[in-house]
Amino acid sequence: MRRVSALLVLMLLTLNACAFSRGTLGDEIKTDTVNSIKKGVTTRSEVLALLGAPDRLLQLNGRDLFQYYRYDAKVGSLLLIVLNFSRVSVKSDDLFVIINREGTVEEVIASKRTEGLEFRFWPFGD
């Protein structure tokens, strides 16, 4: 009991602060919106109406490639008086829509990596 009390006192004395920070870039890419884009059916103008202008527009072997992305960053810091631990985790959601020469969607490539993003303090290990 005394040891536990001593440990608690030591932690209270050394635990200066905790910090949680979060930053995002771009709009959320909703799964429902992505699912509503159908290959060979949805047109270029419908994609633009659903998602807005792309973050990047590229030419891919004569086809248009619309890229949409969103970044999410979470920072956890454990600030002891003399020793600080911080971990910054950044992940991105990316959506690529390839539109063929006829103006309809040829391919949709999407993934949501930010869903599993957590606040972490401990910088060691995986």
User: What are phi and psi for residue 48, nearest 5 degrees?
Assistant: -65, -35
- Give yes or no for residue 90 binding other proteins (CB under 8 A): yes
Q: How far is CA 60 from CA 11, 44, 49, 122, in A?
A: 57, 15, 22, 42
Contact status: 124 vs other proteins (CB under 8 A): yes
Per CB under 8 A, 36 contacts other proteins: no
Structural contact between residues 24 and 72, judged by C-beta atoms closer than 8 angstroms: yes
Query: Residue 52 Cβ, how far from other proteins at the closest point, in Å?
Result: 18
Q: Is 111 in the site for other proteins (CB under 8 A)?
A: yes
Find the binder of other proteins among 60, 101, 102, 103 (CB under 8 A). 60
Rounded Cα distance, 78 and 70, in Å: 27
- CA end-to-end distance (rounded Å), the chain: 34
CA dihedral 23, 24, 25, 27 (to 10 degrees): -160
| Contact flag: residue 31 with other proteins (CB under 8 A) | no
Residue whose token pair is 């633009």: 48
Scanning 19-27, 40-48, 83-91 for contacts with other proteins by CB under 8 A, the matching segment is: 83-91
- Asked if 82 interacts with other proteins (CB under 8 A), we say yes
Residues that bind other proteins (CB under 8 A): 6, 10, 14, 56, 58-61, 65, 67, 69, 81-92, 94-96, 107, 109-111, 113, 123-124
